């Protein structure tokens, strides 16, 4: 229904492009998700509830898997209590989530989404393995918020002239929290094929999301715009231009955003904000992306925001 509504609102040229995407897209019958943290679990749960596809959820830690699935149970129960879904629908969605600690269990998926921390070498190692484990038709997607898709794609092959693996690498950058936020940023690397891009776009539509397509450039679209905004708010705080409450209040009440930049940074995770600002600064060489000193200090102190219980606000 969502995809149909979007197409009806599109002008003729865009509608033709949408139809072409749909024709070129491969069908996704089984999904794999690597990483059972907040993002990975959210992606897996949306795939089960919205698209009705079975999901193999992989994490190296049994504890992380147990914690993620417990969170899924909580979200499903909440949806049932609010009459968003029935108990039968919740049970059916939960049954589609299959946890495992073995990456080899992704041998039969059509589409896999990696959602591990923003550590380049960790992602490179995972994609090198996925290229060997997953079927040759499977799309290999990353949820990275800042790391080059071209570099991730390059990790799938030792021969740069052989694009059989690298051409099926793409980014599906979901927004947090995944069950709530509609936007997904689809980013293609230099090697990404048109069929891979089209399949990613159409699959995200089946998840009830609204995809936006961007090029492989530091920070892509979302974080290229968002993170400097958050960073500048932190600089305003550290230089005494305004206090915490004033900074957040003026942006909420003056620009009608749902939360101020400092509260938003807490929800994203200050370590994640710092990691993205470092990538922007190092890859562009532009001083406007220099991370705030106060942001670095807070991360060094372990004050990472909501997930650690303390950031710009207290969450104890």
Which is the catalytic residue, given 155, 223, 231, 292? 223
Name the one residue in this structure whose structure tokens are 């002008």: 11
Q: Which of 143, 146, 171, 185 is catalytic?
A: 185
- Return d(Cα 149, Cα 155) in angstroms, integer: 10
Q: Are 288 and 235 in contact (CB under 8 A)?
A: no
50 annotated ligand-binding residue: no
How many CA atoms lie within 13 Å of 15's alpha carbon, on the beta-carbon side? 9
CB-based burial label for 205 (10 Å; 0-12, 13-18, 19+): buried
Known active-site residue 62: no
| Annotation marks residue 223 as catalytic | yes
Catalytic residue from among 64, 167, 173, 188:
173
- Give me the catalytic one of 18, 64, 145, 188: 145
DSSP code per residue over 231-272: HHHHHHHHTTSS-HHHHHHHHHHHH--SS-HHHHHHHH-HHH
- The response to whether 36 counts as a known ligand-binding position is yes
29 is in an annotated binding site: no
Are 79 and 85 in contact by the 8 Å Cβ rule? The answer is: yes
In this structure, what DSSP letter does residue 185 have?
A: E
Judge whether 40 is annotated as a binding position.
Answer: yes
- Alpha-carbon span 278 to 291, nearest angstrom: 7
Query: Is 62 annotated to bind ligand?
Result: no
Q: Is 39 annotated as a binding residue?
A: yes
Return the percent helix, strand and coil in the chain, to nearest 5.
55, 15, 35
- The first and second tokens of residue 157, run together, are 């092959």
Is position 176 annotated in a ligand binding site?
Answer: yes
Q: Per the structure block, which two tokens stand in for 150? A: 């071209």
**Whole-angstrom distance, CA of residue 23 vs CA of residue 244:** 50
Residue 242 labeled ligand binder: no
Q: Is 232 annotated as a binding residue?
A: no
Closest by Cα among 162, 143, 205 to 5? 205
Indicate the SS3 state at residue 83.
coil
* 38 is annotated as contributing to ligand binding: yes
Q: Which residues are annotated as a binding site for NAD(+)?
A: 35-40, 59, 118, 123, 145, 176, 307
User: Active-site residue numbers?
Assistant: 145, 173, 185, 223
Q: Which residues are annotated as a binding site?
A: 35-40, 59, 118, 123, 145, 176, 307
């Amino acid at each position: 229904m969502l995809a149909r509504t979007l197409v009806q609102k599109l002008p003729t040229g865009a509608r033709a492009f949408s139809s072409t995407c749909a024709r070129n897209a491969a069908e996704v019958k089984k999904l794999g998700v690597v990483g059972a943290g907040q993002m990975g679990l959210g992606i897996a749960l949306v795939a089960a509830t919205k698209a009705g596809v079975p999901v193999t959820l992989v994490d190296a830690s049994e504890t992380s898997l147990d914690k993620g699935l417990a969170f899924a149970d909580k979200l499903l129960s909440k949806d049932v209590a609010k009459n968003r879904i029935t108990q039968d629908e919740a049970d059916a969605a939960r049954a589609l989530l299959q946890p495992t600690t073995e990456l080899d269990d992704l041998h039969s998926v059509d589409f896999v989404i990696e959602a591990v921390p923003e550590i380049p070498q960790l992602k490179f190692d995972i994609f090198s393995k996925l290229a060997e484990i997953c079927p040759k038709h499977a799309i290999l997607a990353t949820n990275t918020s800042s790391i080059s898709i071209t570099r991730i794609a390059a990790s799938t092959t030792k021969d740069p002239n052989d694009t059989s693996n690298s051409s099926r690498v793409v980014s599906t950058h979901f927004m947090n929290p995944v069950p709530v936020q509609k936007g997904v940023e689809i980013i293609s690397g230099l090697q990404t094929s048109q069929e891979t891009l089209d399949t990613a776009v159409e699959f995200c539509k089946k998840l009830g999301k609204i995809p936006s397509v961007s090029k492989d450039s530091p920070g892509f679209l979302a974080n290229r715009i968002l993170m400097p905004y958050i960073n500048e708010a932190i600089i305003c705080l550290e230089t005494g231009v305004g206090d915490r409450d004033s900074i957040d209040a003026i942006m909420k009440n003056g620009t009608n955003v749902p939360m101020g930049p400092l509260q938003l940074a807490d929800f994203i995770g200050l370590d994640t904000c710092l990691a993205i600002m470092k990538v922007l600064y190092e890859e562009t060489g532009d001083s406007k992306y220099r991370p705030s000193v106060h942001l670095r200090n807070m991360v060094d102190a372990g004050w990472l925001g909501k997930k650690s219980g303390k950031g710009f606000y207290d969450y104890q």
